Structure 1
């Protein structure tokens, strides 16, 4: 992901974390630095739980800061009370694994191995995490190299103007989209997390949406207070703008180039102490229960003004299968696999079967699972008629029998 000096993502997918990271870091940013964090409370929710490791690299050319490159990856384990670091019964973030505030993990292009070793020492799969860490570092260095090559090739003036032009192109297109799809009168929608796994719930997520001039406002007033369990979602305002932008572009006009150019056209209000802005040290590990409902709320709000795009609610979650222990050789194994569900039916067709909440995710082949983990998959199929009947039916669920 490439961002300009203001931290606005120009090319990439997830740019919302740079602004929060820059606000949180109280120190100098110098050539040869690279930063690491995984603590939502240290960067205003720029990352949403401890499994997500965010690395940020300032890009310098001829001694001048010209851009940022960043990448984050979800780690299989970061310590805490259970393998996988997603305890459903956590009541505080301290139970969910090692927390790293914004930290210089590279200084003068030298890895601060003592810091990294302390972090890895608190994880159940240190070799896996270090491998993923190195992969993220390599991707950032590749982005840095190509940005510098581009700036050298075209010169600073053209490089900076190109970044601004790409942001402006997105802003103009999204501005027209907002004017055409968001009414001035308030629209309301709410959805619920039925249960948190500890027999508590339901939890309400409520949002109002309206337009004032060229700006759209989202207000989550009326959302339930934070939970004592781990279904809280520390929703960064910039992250919600990203969700909304992706949703609107994919639904209404996929030809629009996605970046952070439109962020000034949105205002997001999230009351503190609620399910979407919990107070420290609330647990956050199972935040996908709330995250999935955010997309349903967006669909409910935007669909009121454009019924041809209105769809039902999907499975609206990212179920995780955790399976770990010691094999017959005494070696520790740990499986972390995301489950898939049905996508809702739409006016233009049926919902797909067995789909991930996240774009582009694919399943882990059964042959791989049986080869590398002590398990046998007896059944794996889509459940007929589980998605809801209708003129355009909902997508069916997937069933594993291990």
Structure 2
């Protein structure tokens, strides 16, 4: 490899991040579905020829670590010698490099320079419907992956820069919303092509050897940064256990040895008969997500950072499921694993991390016939909630989970126009909970008013029975759930449910948890308590009983 001055390397490395972000922006500006162009449920990346993450754009943090794994599977299945300029590959199957679940579709393009692969441009986005037994392609009662949608097993969808019509048509045909699917897919294809063009421009400008050397240097820097972070933590063997809402016991073992972390998940529960399983690659995402939280620089995520972590799994358990196990609700297992790793570090290793957050994607899927167009519609929404408090600061209100990162809630105007519901309210959760010297952040209350009969609700919420954990004598937070307020005055409570029938005038009320508190509530500043009362964050009775507040401040 050729060597080069550090300024040139820095220019190339920053250019890679800019290219990743430009690909991200391209998808956001051209996609059809609000889950992509408003919520930004997607990610983009540049991957090295040998399947290490070279640079990541904006987007869902957990997705970023998925894309190098997708490239690795394509290379494994097809062989480098059978990959050609003008190819584009597609996968969504967690057992074929799709990593997550069938709704998250990965598109991959090798970037050739003088007959040599010098990079891959890759992106992933959530498609609203990819067939399966339930609209939205997610159901909490699925027992095998065949019920969750079409499986696309890492196949070629473009050759010589032209679509392979048979594959293309099969993918489009297997959706209840084919026009949205086509629009989203072409947005991802455009981003791949743009990224490839920019990378070739870099290689033209600086020379391919300098370009490849700069990438290697960038990965080495990522590894150095990660090792420096881990070396500051005390060596030791740490264990922790926690219950899921259904009573399943999760446990992990964590070893910190010099500048490496070893995560042992071999004692995990057996894989589930339901859809909350993780592929091994999905489990790696959870661990890498926590690692990047420790490092604290999301923009510097690359494959070098991940060299410091070893993850041990046992095939056939919850964190290394065997096909055809269902994976549609993988995200709740992923986020709870990441949260448990975080809790282990926060309670036993370092006091620099905050308490537990609402730690659920709170997936809300609604659909039916649009009252204005008479077409089928599907809402697929992650929700925002309260984060945990930390040493010296209150928790953040109404923020997406750490897994979802750079995403946004869908504006009411878009939801009402595209989805055919009315948004009745969006407010902070005024329930008491998460007390501490520093209080947990507030979740939300969000009302969707149904506008047509024979509609449905599917939801996947965890922490509906086991609340976000407090830290250093801080109190636990509150609970995630959905309440369906019927027109007859009755109320139903749901957390994991499939195709609950809803009709005109029913209200689907989303309630997300307040985060856990940090420190003894009796130590909270009376002025801060007075502000909490003024803002409606706590009730007066709660302030008196938990904070021992008597009007100070």
TM-score, shorter chain, exceeding 0.5: yes
The Cα of 1:377 is off from its aligned counterpart by: 2.4
1:320 maps onto 2:363 in alignment:
yes
1:202 matched to which residue of 2?
A: 247
Q: Paired residue for 1:40, among 94, 117, 131?
A: 94
Q: Which moved more, 1:110-119 or 1:375-384?
A: 375-384
Measure the CA separation in 2 of the matches of 1:59 and 1:338.
33
Q: Paired residue for 1:362, among 396, 402, 408?
A: 408
**Aligned ranges for residues 248-327 of structure 1 at < 5 Å?**
248-250=294-296, 254=297, 257-304=300-347, 306-327=349-370
User: TM-score, normalising length from structure 1?
Assistant: 0.92
Q: Secondary structure at the match of 1:322?
A: strand
The Cα of 1:15 is off from its aligned counterpart by: 4.0
Q: Is the alpha carbon distance of 1:23 and 1:147 closer, same or farther for their aligned partners in structure 2, counting shifts above 3 Å?
A: closer
Q: Is the alpha carbon distance of 1:327 and 1:22 closer, same or farther for their aligned partners in structure 2, counting shifts above 3 Å?
A: closer
User: TM-score, normalising length from structure 2?
Assistant: 0.67
1:123 maps onto 2:175 in alignment:
yes
The Cα of 1:218 is off from its aligned counterpart by: 0.7
Q: Which moved more, 1:258-267 or 1:148-157?
A: 258-267
The 8 Å contact of residues 7 and 18 in structure 1, kept in 2 or not, is answered as yes
The Cα of 1:255 is off from its aligned counterpart by: 8.6
Structure 2 runs not aligned, ≥5 long? 1-44, 58-63, 449-553
Q: Is the alpha carbon distance of 1:305 and 1:166 closer, same or farther for their aligned partners in structure 2, counting shifts above 3 Å?
A: farther
1:197 matched to which residue of 2?
A: none
1:122-171 Cα offsets, whole Å, 9 max, x none, are 11111111111111111111111111100110012211110011111111
Structure 1 runs not aligned, ≥5 long? 195-200
The 8 Å contact of residues 173 and 256 in structure 1, kept in 2 or not, is answered as no
Measure the CA separation in 1 of the matches of 2:109 and 2:306.
22
Measure the CA separation in 2 of the matches of 1:255 and 1:135.
25
Measure the CA separation in 2 of the matches of 1:166 and 1:31.
26
The Cα of 1:173 is off from its aligned counterpart by: 1.4
Q: Paired residue for 2:239, among 183, 188, 207?
A: 188
Q: Which moved more, 1:16-25 or 1:102-111?
A: 16-25
The Cα of 1:222 is off from its aligned counterpart by: 2.2
The Cα of 1:214 is off from its aligned counterpart by: 3.5
Q: Paired residue for 1:51, among 100, 103, 107?
A: 103
1:231-278 Cα offsets, whole Å, 9 max, x none, are 11224164345313321122xxx3982211133222110112111111
2:393 matched to which residue of 1?
A: 349
1:327-369 Cα offsets, whole Å, 9 max, x none, are 3453222222222211111113111112112112111111222
Tell which structure's C-alpha radius of gyration is larger: 2
The Cα of 1:174 is off from its aligned counterpart by: 1.0
Q: CA RMSD in A?
A: 1.9
The Cα of 1:109 is off from its aligned counterpart by: 1.0
1:337 maps onto 2:381 in alignment:
yes
Large movers: runs of 4+ above 6 Å = none
Q: Is the alpha carbon distance of 1:100 and 1:115 closer, same or farther for their aligned partners in structure 2, counting shifts above 3 Å?
A: same
Q: Paired residue for 1:21, among 73, 83, 89?
A: 73
The 8 Å contact of residues 47 and 67 in structure 2, kept in 1 or not, is answered as no
- How many residues align? The count is 390
Q: Is the alpha carbon distance of 1:241 and 1:88 closer, same or farther for their aligned partners in structure 2, counting shifts above 3 Å?
A: closer
1:198 matched to which residue of 2?
A: none
Q: Is the alpha carbon distance of 1:224 and 1:335 closer, same or farther for their aligned partners in structure 2, counting shifts above 3 Å?
A: same
Q: Is the alpha carbon distance of 1:327 and 1:171 closer, same or farther for their aligned partners in structure 2, counting shifts above 3 Å?
A: closer
Q: Secondary structure at the match of 2:125?
A: strand
Q: Secondary structure at the match of 2:304?
A: helix
**Aligned ranges for residues 138-287 of structure 1 at < 5 Å?**
138-181=190-233, 183-194=234-245, 201-236=246-281, 238-250=284-296, 254=297, 257-287=300-330
